[in-house]
Amino acid sequence: MSESLIGYRGEALKLLREANVEVGDVVRITKGGLVYEGLLMPRSMYEDERHIVIKLASGYNIGVRITPEIHVEKVREGVKPSFTLPPRPEQKPGSPKVALVSTGGTIASRVDYRTGAVRAALSAEELYSIVPELAEVANIDAEALFSVYSENLTPKHWTAMAERAAYHIKGGAAGVVVAHGTDTMGYTAAALSFALQNLPVPVILVGAQRSSDRPSSDAALNLLEAVRAAAFGPFAEVVVAMHASASDDSIVFHRGTKVRKCHTSRRDTFRSINSPPLAKMEHGKIAMLIEDYRKRDPSGELMLKPNFEEKVALVKFHPGASPKLVKWLVEDGYKGIVLEGTGLGHVGDYWFSAVKEAVENGVLVAMTSQCIWGRVNMKVYDQGRDLLAMGVIPLDDMLPETALVKTMWALGQTKDQKEVRNLLKANIAYEYSPRTLYE
Amino acid sequence: MAIIAAVIRWLAVTSRSSASIDYSKVGLKVGLEVHQQLDVAHKLFCSCPPRLFKEEPEASFLRRLRPTQSELGQVDPAAYFEFQKGLRISYEANKSTSCLVEMDEEPPHDLNREALEAALTFALMIDADPVDEVHVMRKVVIDGSNTTGFQRTCVVALGGEVEVSGKVVPIQQVCLEEDAARLMGKDGAIAFYRIDRLGVPLIEVTTAPVITSPKEAGEVALTVGRLLRATRKVKRGLGTIRQDLNISIRDGALIEIKGVQELELIPMVVEYEVRRQLSLIKLREELKARNVEERHIKDEFVDVTMAFVNTKYEALRKSIEEGKRVLAVKLLGFSGLLRRELMPNVSFGDEMADRARFWGRIDEIFNTDELPSEISNEEVELLSQVMKARDEDAIVLAVGLEEDAIDALKAVTERAREALRGVPEETRAANPNGTTRYMRPRPGAARMYPETDVPSIRIEEEYVKRLRSRLPMRPEQMLKLLMKEYGLNEKLARQVLDSEYCELFEGLVKETKAPPTLIATTLTETLKALQRDGIEVSRVSSEQLKEIFTMIGRGELAKEAIPDVVTWLSEHEGLTAKEAVESLGLIMLSEEELERIVKDIVRRNEGIIKQRGPKAAFGLLMGAIMREYRGRVRADVVSSLLKEELETFG
Ligand SMILES: [Zn+2]
pLDDT for res B5: 46
Cα distance between residue A116 and residue A109, in whole Å: 12
- Number of helices (H) and strands (E) in chain B: give both, helices first: 23, 24
* pLDDT in the model for residue B446: 59
In this structure, are residues A84 and B73 in contact, taking their beta carbons and an 8 Å threshold?
yes
Q: Which residue of A has its CA nearest to B457?
A: A63
Distances, alpha carbon A137 to alpha carbons A91, A221, A421, in Å: 8, 13, 43
The answer to whether residue A224 neighbours chain B at the CB level (below 8 Å) is no
Q: Looking at the complex, does the CB of residue B107 fall below 8 Å from at least one CB of chain A?
A: yes
Given a contact cutoff of 8 angstroms between Cβ atoms, the answer to whether A27 and A81 are in contact is no
The 8-class DSSP code of residue A237 comes to S
**Catalytic annotation, pick one of A159, A182, A184, A402:** A182
Tell me the percentage of chain B whose pLDDT exceeds 90. Answer: 69
pLDDT single digits (tens) B400-419:
999 999 999 999 999 999 99
Q: What is the mean pLDDT of residues B58-71?
A: 85
**Number of domains comprising chain B:** 4
Q: Check if A79 contacts B (Cβ < 8 Å).
A: no
Question: Above 80 in pLDDT, residue B74?
Answer: no
Q: Select from B105, B150, B446 the Cβ nearest to the Cβ of A246.
A: B105
Q: B149 at the A interface (CB within 8 A)?
A: yes
| Catalytic residue (one of A55, A258, A261, A335) | A261
Same structural domain for residues B140 and B216?
A: yes
- Give the strand order in the sheet containing A364-369: A312-316, A336-341, A364-369, A393-394
SS3 state of residue A428: coil
Q: Which amino acid is at B475?
A: P
> Check: CATH 1.10.1270.20 for A3-76?
no
Point out the least confidently predicted range of A371-385, B296-310, B489-503. B489-503
Answer yes or no: do B338 and B242 share one domain: no
Backbone angles phi, psi at B226, to 5 degrees: -60, -45
pLDDT score for B440: 84
* Predicted confidence (pLDDT) per residue in B453-469, tens digit: 999 999 999 999 999 99
Instruction: Report the gap between the CA of A414 and the closest CA in chain B (Å).
Output: 44
Inter-chain touch B62–A81, beta carbons under 8 Å: no
Subunit contact B72:A81, Cβ cutoff 8 A: yes
Is A216's CB within 8 Å of B73's CB?
no
Pairwise CA distance, residues B570 & B534, whole Å: 11
- Does B9 have pLDDT greater than 70? no
* Residue contact A247–B63, C-beta within 8 A: yes
Using a CB–CB cutoff of 8 Å, tell me whether A269 touches chain B. Answer: no
The catalytic position among A141, A183, A248, A268 is A183
Whether the CB-CB separation of B182 and B170 falls below 8 Å is answered with: no
Domain boundaries, chain A: 3-76, 97-304, 312-425
Out of A65, A81, A210, closest to residue B71 by CB: A81
Q: Is the residue at B55 inside a domain?
A: yes
CA nearest neighbour of A242 among A216, A268, A211: A268
Radius of gyration of chain A (CA): 26
Residue B494 class from Cβ within 10 Å (0-12 exposed, 13-18 middle, 19+ buried)?
A: middle
Of B63, B172, B450, Cβ closest to residue A248: B63
Which residue type sits at B34? V
Chain A touched by B70 (CB under 8 Å): yes
B152 and B235 in a single domain? The answer is yes
The domain in which residue B212 lies consists of: 21-287
Distance B54 CA to ligand 1 centre (A): 17
**3-class secondary structure per residue, A176-210:** EEEECCCCCHHHHHHHHHHHEECCCCCEEEECCCC
* Whether B302 contacts B329, CB under 8 Å: yes
Q: If we measure between CA atoms, which residue out of B422, B400, B423, B398 comes closest to residue B412?
A: B398
- Chain A residue with Cα closest to B91: A247
**Nearest partner of A317 among A396, A370, A381, A365, judged by Cα:** A370
Whether B147 has its CB under 8 Å from any CB of chain A: the answer is yes
- The yes-or-no verdict on residue B631 having pLDDT over 80 is no
Torsion of CA B431, B435, B440, B442, to 10 degrees: 130
Domains A97-304 and A312-425 share a fold: yes
Q: Which helix (H) or strand (E) holds B594?
A: helix B591-604
With CA atoms as reference, the chain B residue closest to A247 would be: B62
Choose the weakest-confidence range: A128-142, A269-283, B34-48, B421-435: A128-142
Same domain, B283 and B408: no
Question: Taking Cα atoms as reference points, which of A302, A308, A270, A306 lies closest to residue A175?
Answer: A302
Of the two residues B26 and B8, the one the predictor is more confident about is B26
What does the pLDDT read at residue B12? 45
Determine whether the interchain pair B62/A86 forms a contact, defined as Cβ–Cβ distance below 8 Å.
Answer: no
Helix axes A185-195, A155-170, angle to 10 degrees: 50
Q: Is the pLDDT reported for residue B1 higher than 70?
A: no
Measured between beta carbons, the chain A residues lying within 8 angstroms of B140 are 215
Q: Which residues on A lie below 8 Å from B456 (Cβ)?
A: 44, 47, 63
Is A183 catalytic? The answer is: yes
Residue B187 Cα to ligand 1 midpoint, Å, equals 27
CA dist B151 and B57 (Å) reads 23
pLDDT over 80 (residue B642): yes
Which residue in the list A103, A106, A184, A402 is annotated as catalytic?
A: A106
Identify the helix (H) or strand (E) that includes residue B119: helix B113-125
CA torsion angle B191 B193 B199 B204 (round to 10): -60
For ligand 1, a single-atom ion, the residues with CB < 5 A are: B 46, 48, 99, 101-102
Same domain, B480 and B625: no
**Residue B463: inside a domain, yes or no?**
no
CB A118 within 8 A of CB B138: no
In this structure, are strands B426-430 and B255-260 parallel, antiparallel, or unpaired? parallel
Residue B607: pLDDT band by 50, 70, 90 thresholds?
confident
* pLDDT band, very low/low/confident/very high, at B350 (cuts 50, 70, 90): very high
Is A342 a residue of the active site? no
CATH number for domain A312-425, candidates 3.90.260.10, 3.40.47.10, 3.40.50.2000, 3.40.50.40 = 3.40.50.40
Q: How high does pLDDT run on average in chain B?
A: 91
Check whether B7 has a pLDDT greater than 50: no
Active site residue A261: yes
Burial of B378: CB neighbours in 10 Å, binned 0-12, 13-18, 19+: exposed
Cα(B177) to centroid of ligand 1, in Å? 15
Q: Are residues B350 and B409 in the same domain?
A: yes
Domain boundary, last residue among B546, B565, B583: B583
Whether residue B193 sits in one domain with residue B48: yes
- Residue A67 at interface with chain B, using a CB cutoff of 8 Å: no
B610 and B560: one domain?
A: no
Residue B239's pLDDT is what?
A: 85
Residues (pLDDT < 70) of chain A are 1-3, 81-85, 105-106, 111-116
Q: What is the side-by-side order of every strand in the sheet holding B394-400?
A: B302-303, B325-331, B394-400, B364-367
Residue B73 has pLDDT above 60, yes or no: no
pLDDT computed for residue B650 by the predictor: 60
pLDDT (tens digit per residue) in B522-541: 999 999 899 899 998 888 98
The DSSP 8-state label assigned to residue B38 in this structure reads: B
Whether the pLDDT of residue B598 is over 50: the answer is: yes
* Judgement on whether residues B107 and B148 belong to the same structural domain of the protein: yes
- Whether B451 maps to a domain, the answer reads no
Best residue of A52, A111, A118 to probe chain B, by most B CBs closer than 10 Å: A111
**Across B117-130, average pLDDT:** 98
Q: What is the pLDDT of residue A168?
A: 97
Distance CA(A10)–CA(A12), nearest Å, equals 6
Boundary (domain end) residue, out of B391, B415, B439 = B415
Which of these, A196, A197, A258, A195, lies nearest to A412 by C-alpha position? A195
Pairwise CA distance, residues A379 & A392, whole Å: 12
The dihedrals phi and psi of B469, each to the nearest 5 degrees, come to -75, -15
Domain A97-304 has CATH 3.40.50.1170: yes
B525: which DSSP letter?
A: I
Question: In terms of DSSP bridges, do strands A364-369 and A393-394 run parallel, antiparallel, or are they unpaired?
Answer: parallel
Same domain, B501 and B640: no
- For B453-532, strand residue ranges (E) read 457-458
Is the predicted pLDDT of residue B611 greater than 90, yes or no?
no
pLDDT, one tens digit per residue, over A280-312 is 999 999 999 999 999 999 999 999 999 999 999
Chain A, chain B: beta-carbon pairs less than 8 Å apart: 141
Active site residue A184: no
User: pLDDT class for B72, splitting at 50, 70, 90?
Assistant: low
Which pLDDT value is given to residue A276? 95
> Is the CB of B164 inside 8 Å of chain A's CB atoms?
no
B124 & B228 share domain:
yes
